[in-house]
Chain A
Amino acid sequence: MTAAIAKRGAKATLIIKDVRVLDPASGVDACTDVTIEKGQIASIAPAKGKADDAHVINGAGKLLLPGLVDLHTHLRSPGREDEEDMASGAAAAAAGGYVIICAMPNTDPVADNAAVVYSQAEVAESDAAIRVAFLGSISRGEKGEHLSDMWDMAEAGVVAFSDDGHPVADAGLLRSAFQAAGRVNLPLSLHCEDLDLAGAGVMNEGRVSAQLGLAGIPCAAETADVARNLEMALYEGARVHIAHISCARSLAAIETAREAGAAVTCEVTPHHLVLNDEEVLGLDSNFKMNPPLRDEENRRQLVEALAAGRVDCIATDHAPHAWQEKETPFEEAAFGVTGLETAFPVLLTELVQPGEVSLEALVMAMSTNPAKAFNLPVPAIVEGGEANLCLVDVEEEYEIEPGNFFSKSRNNAFSGRRVRGRVLLTIAAGRLAFKRDA
């Protein structure tokens, strides 16, 4: 589709036998065989005869899903390849069931011009096992002062614009950004946070921050900025994607704007759906991220909204950090946690298995909806379509061990947690991207 999405060829025939195929968007839920030939899904039906050159996988008791799509990944390339690079980030994504990830532009140098985007796409083309799409920054250097080369970057194939990590405080600049992005019909992905309200906060403001003596980031820092940004998007008639929502009232604002006609999508991270701010009591910096883990009431409401289909997307905000940037007192530690390898197993275990969210809703929010939000190829399990799928063992139980990650970084909030459900195989853009060793 775009130059920034690496194109991949295809090889041998693969048959996955007796597998439960689930693709809610295509209306598929059946136990059958899936044959993949030359990178395409040749048939979704009992495989006849026996192709000698076919590789056969026993899918009994396993689940075949459309490959996952992440709209919010930090790949650290260029600039901090010690934390993550295209190869390790894409390998981590493939191991987590992802077939497309969208890399945020807060690299060093910032992806604020076409040259950086072309070079990123080139590295991804050679190094990444799955498709990597790129976002360009909204402002030059993400400094919030002047617009970046948005038109050039659109030509280079970026799928959205964002100053993620640095909310655009200047409303006039943001208005211009909506207009410029509208001209190339791309959405802005907005990190919504009023920095004056957030102050020096390092965690959610509430009873836990009061107990610990840590400066808090109030929910209002997010909700106030969400409300302002939605008003502007509505006024400009522009596409907007609200990144990593942590407060239930942000969702309410999104629904109001949507009713008024705004073209708005949104995302929630796995950690905001599963964890609350009580985790911070132990001062483990793997629970430090921005937006911060909120209280149980907000978490619960986000889960209910996801179950009801009111949360469009789940995005990881995969933020790898060198260990020395996390192995410090909590206040000094960098914000952010990794998520590509833990998102699906954790959500399956914590939300689907207890019956809080349906598997169908989870798949929509992790695959179909995010692909549509950024106009990416929608992974679908349909005959004749390109193979973008993942095979999951829903019974396998194990403990999350960051030492085993494909990611270069270990800063994960689910370290040591027992989960049930493991990605065995990922086929991205018709090519085998990941296969777990038996």
Chain B
Amino acid sequence: MNWNLLSINDLSRDEIESVLATASKDFLELSKRDIKKVPTLRGRTIIDLFYEKSTRTSTSFELAGKRLSADVINVKADSSAVGKGESLKDTTLTINAYRPDIIVIRHPHVGAAAFVSRFTEAHVINAGDGKGEHPTQCLLDIFSLRQEFRNLEGLKVAIVGDILHSRVARSNIQGFQKMGMKVKLVAPPSLLPRGVEALGAEVAHSLEALAGMDVIYLLRMQTERHESANFVPSLREYIANYCVGRRHLTKGQRVLHPGPINRGVEIEAALADSNENLILQQVEAGLAVRMAIMYRIIVDNAAAGEAASDTASSLHAGAASGASEAEIRNIQAVG
């Protein structure tokens, strides 16, 4: 892996395969053990910097770090110096002075993770930057699809709902296509970004377009990001036209959702409770995939740092040394 994970475009198809293989081989099964912890990142420090409300992503990252035995600190924007007018640059510099190995950041503005990476020697993982990207969600979604479908080449995916406000959609449109899938976007025109066809996806405006799809990826209506209330004339109209239920599905179709779900808005309750959806598998995959990302981001760059130690003049080289590769690779249950 590269030094940072800021965008799904930071990873090639082979690199995605490789990270997912690590998640599947080394970490998925860990959650089923009695003792769910390995010493892999013992002595490493991970700081989760969350400037937006988050339950599942912050839980998932925190748990992933702790199960790797790293020291994990969670910084919530509302309880930090941010409320005292500190700039993102200064918060980053302050946190960097603790010399963390990884900074995980969620922020309401596009490019915030890339911005943070300019002011720290730590690896930066983008846990969602405004309406920009959510690359770890994309990786866990690909992982979930891989578990269900094996071969992703040519798989047809419809992404349905509030695409305009969705960083998940932006990462997935690009990440899914990178893995050889065909992507169709289904939403009312007012919830599609102008110019979105430039990302290579087909565009449709009604649920009839779900016919022939293998996967239906539902998005939540992000009413908290709707600066004005007029993106749809009424929620009732939206539900009548875009709420997906079991009746919309054909045999073999599977439904994904990044959560949190709003029953009765974008997904009917019966579908939310049906085994046709992979929503909880996604959550479970999220943990294994985030462990794999943090593990690989440390290991791959530590190995690269050793190989390139002669020319270790860059900002990154210093942080790359530390625990030996042998120690890091010691993936055995603490017992």
Contact A283 B198 (CB under 8 A): no
Contact A283 B87 (CB under 8 A): no
Assess whether B178 is interfacial by the CB under 8 Å rule: no
Assess whether B205 is interfacial by the CB under 8 Å rule: no
Contact B109 A210 (CB under 8 A): no
Specify which chain B residues have a CB less than 8 angstroms from the CB of A218 in the assembled complex.
Answer: 194
Contact A329 B88 (CB under 8 A): yes
Which of A200-208, A352-360, A419-427 interfaces with chain B?
A: A200-208
Assess whether B196 is interfacial by the CB under 8 Å rule: yes
Q: A327-B89, A328-B88 are in contact. Are A212 and B195 (CB under 8 A)?
A: no
Contact A206 B194 (CB under 8 A): yes
Q: Which residue of A lies closest to B9 (CB)?
A: A211
Assess whether A126 is interfacial by the CB under 8 Å rule: no
Specify which chain A residues have a CB less than 8 angstroms from the CB of B111 in the assembled complex.
Answer: 212, 283, 329-331
Please report the C-alpha to C-alpha distance between residue A330 and residue B129 in the assembled complex, in whole angstroms: 11
Contact with A along B87-126 (1 / 0, CB 8 A): 1110000000000000000010111101100000000000
Q: Which residue of B lies closest to A325 (CB)?
A: B87
- Which single member of A199, A200, A205, A215 contacts B195 (CB below 8 Å)? A205
Assess whether A263 is interfacial by the CB under 8 Å rule: no
Assess whether A49 is interfacial by the CB under 8 Å rule: no
In A197-233, which residues have CB < 8 Å from any B CB?
199-200, 205-216, 218
Q: Which residue of B lies closest to A208 (CB)?
A: B195
Contact B199 A211 (CB under 8 A): yes
Specify which chain A residues have a CB less than 8 angstroms from the CB of B131 in the assembled complex.
Answer: 213-215
Assess whether A332 is interfacial by the CB under 8 Å rule: yes
For B109, B112, B167, the residue with the greatest tally of chain A CB atoms inside 10 Å of its CB is B109
Q: A200-B227, A213-B110 are in contact. Are A331 and B195 (CB under 8 A)?
A: no
Contact A330 B109 (CB under 8 A): yes
Q: A205-B195, A207-B195, A207-B198 are in contact. Are A212 and B110 (CB under 8 A)?
A: yes
Contact B194 A329 (CB under 8 A): no
Assess whether B193 is interfacial by the CB under 8 Å rule: yes
Specify which chain A residues have a CB less than 8 angstroms from the CB of B65 in the assembled complex.
Answer: none
Q: Which residue of A lies closest to B193 (CB)?
A: A210
Please report the C-alpha to C-alpha distance between residue A370 and residue B88 in the assembled complex, in whole angstroms: 41
Specify which chain B residues have a CB less than 8 angstroms from the CB of A404 in the assembled complex.
Answer: none
Please report the C-alpha to C-alpha distance between residue A212 and residue B198 in the assembled complex, in whole angstroms: 11
Contact with B along A282-314 (1 / 0, CB 8 A): 010000000000000000000000000000000
Contact B198 A211 (CB under 8 A): yes
Q: A199-B227, A213-B130, A213-B132 are in contact. Are A328 and B89 (CB under 8 A)?
A: yes
Please report the C-alpha to C-alpha distance between residue A307 and residue B109 in the assembled complex, in whole angstroms: 39
Contact B109 A332 (CB under 8 A): yes
In B126-174, which residues have CB < 8 Å from any A CB?
129-133, 167, 170
**Whole-angstrom distance between the Cβ of A398 and the nearest chain B Cβ:** 27
Please report the C-alpha to C-alpha distance between residue A152 and residue B276 in the assembled complex, in whole angstroms: 74
Q: Which residue of A lies closest to B227 (CB)?
A: A200
Contact A328 B110 (CB under 8 A): no
Please report the C-alpha to C-alpha distance between residue A329 and residue B130 in the assembled complex, in whole angstroms: 11
Q: A205-B194, A327-B89, A331-B110 are in contact. Are A212 and B132 (CB under 8 A)?
A: yes
Q: Which residue of B lies closest to A196 (CB)?
A: B228
In A173-207, which residues have CB < 8 Å from any B CB?
199-200, 205-207
Q: A206-B194, A213-B167 are in contact. Are A330 and B110 (CB under 8 A)?
A: yes
**Whole-angstrom distance between the Cβ of B275 and the nearest chain A Cβ:** 33
Contact B110 A329 (CB under 8 A): yes
Contact B87 A324 (CB under 8 A): yes
Specify which chain B residues have a CB less than 8 angstroms from the CB of A210 in the assembled complex.
Answer: 193-196, 198-199
In B207-252, which residues have CB < 8 Å from any A CB?
227-228
Specify which chain A residues have a CB less than 8 angstroms from the CB of B170 in the assembled complex.
Answer: 211, 213
Contact A213 B196 (CB under 8 A): no
Specify which chain A residues have a CB less than 8 angstroms from the CB of B196 in the assembled complex.
Answer: 207, 210
Q: Which residue of A lies closest to B196 (CB)?
A: A210
Specify which chain A residues have a CB less than 8 angstroms from the CB of B199 in the assembled complex.
Answer: 210-211
Please report the C-alpha to C-alpha distance between residue A283 and residue B107 in the assembled complex, in whole angstroms: 15
Please report the C-alpha to C-alpha distance between residue A209 and residue B111 in the assembled complex, in whole angstroms: 13
- Which single member of B89, B193, B227 contacts A209 (CB below 8 Å)? B193
Please report the C-alpha to C-alpha distance between residue A320 and residue B127 in the assembled complex, in whole angstroms: 33
Specify which chain A residues have a CB less than 8 angstroms from the CB of B109 in the assembled complex.
Answer: 329-332
Specify which chain B residues have a CB less than 8 angstroms from the CB of A205 in the assembled complex.
Answer: 194-195
**Whole-angstrom distance between the Cβ of B164 and the nearest chain A Cβ:** 9
Q: Which residue of A lies closest to B131 (CB)?
A: A213
**Whole-angstrom distance between the Cβ of A61 and the nearest chain B Cβ:** 43
For A206, A215, A327, A329, the residue with the greatest tally of chain B CB atoms inside 10 Å of its CB is A329
Please report the C-alpha to C-alpha distance between residue A211 and residue B195 in the assembled complex, in whole angstroms: 8
Please report the C-alpha to C-alpha distance between residue A176 and residue B132 in the assembled complex, in whole angstroms: 43
Specify which chain B residues have a CB less than 8 angstroms from the CB of A283 in the assembled complex.
Answer: 110-111, 114-115
**Whole-angstrom distance between the Cβ of B184 and the nearest chain A Cβ:** 16
Contact with A along B176-206 (1 / 0, CB 8 A): 0000000000000000011111110000000
Please report the C-alpha to C-alpha distance between residue A210 and residue B87 in the assembled complex, in whole angstroms: 27
Q: Which residue of A lies closest to B170 (CB)?
A: A213
Please report the C-alpha to C-alpha distance between residue A207 and residue B167 in the assembled complex, in whole angstroms: 16
Please report the C-alpha to C-alpha distance between residue A214 and residue B129 in the assembled complex, in whole angstroms: 11
Specify which chain B residues have a CB less than 8 angstroms from the CB of A327 in the assembled complex.
Answer: 87, 89
Please report the C-alpha to C-alpha distance between residue A127 and residue B199 in the assembled complex, in whole angstroms: 52
Q: Which residue of A lies closest to B112 (CB)?
A: A329
Contact with A along B9-27 (1 / 0, CB 8 A): 0000000000000000000
Specify which chain A residues have a CB less than 8 angstroms from the CB of B227 in the assembled complex.
Answer: 199-200
Q: A199-B227, A200-B227 are in contact. Are A214 and B110 (CB under 8 A)?
A: yes
Please report the C-alpha to C-alpha distance between residue A328 and residue B195 in the assembled complex, in whole angstroms: 26
Contact B194 A209 (CB under 8 A): yes
Please report the C-alpha to C-alpha distance between residue A153 and residue B131 in the assembled complex, in whole angstroms: 45
**Whole-angstrom distance between the Cβ of B74 and the nearest chain A Cβ:** 21
Please report the C-alpha to C-alpha distance between residue A330 and residue B89 in the assembled complex, in whole angstroms: 13
Please report the C-alpha to C-alpha distance between residue A212 and residue B174 in the assembled complex, in whole angstroms: 12
In A44-86, which residues have CB < 8 Å from any B CB?
none
In B57-98, which residues have CB < 8 Å from any A CB?
87-89
Q: 6 additional contacts, CB 8 Å, given A207-B197, A212-B110, A328-B88?
A: A199-B227, A208-B195, A213-B167, A216-B194, A328-B89, A331-B109
Q: Which residues of A contact B (CB under 8 A)?
A: 199-200, 205-216, 218, 283, 324, 327-332
Sample 6 A-B pairs with CB under 8 A, ordered by A number: A199-B228, A210-B194, A329-B109, A329-B112, A330-B109, A331-B109
Q: Which residues of B contact A (CB under 8 A)?
A: 87-89, 107, 109-112, 114-115, 129-133, 167, 170, 193-199, 227-228
**A-B pairs with lowest CB-CB distance, top 7:** A207-B198, A213-B131, A207-B195, A283-B111, A210-B193, A329-B109, A210-B195
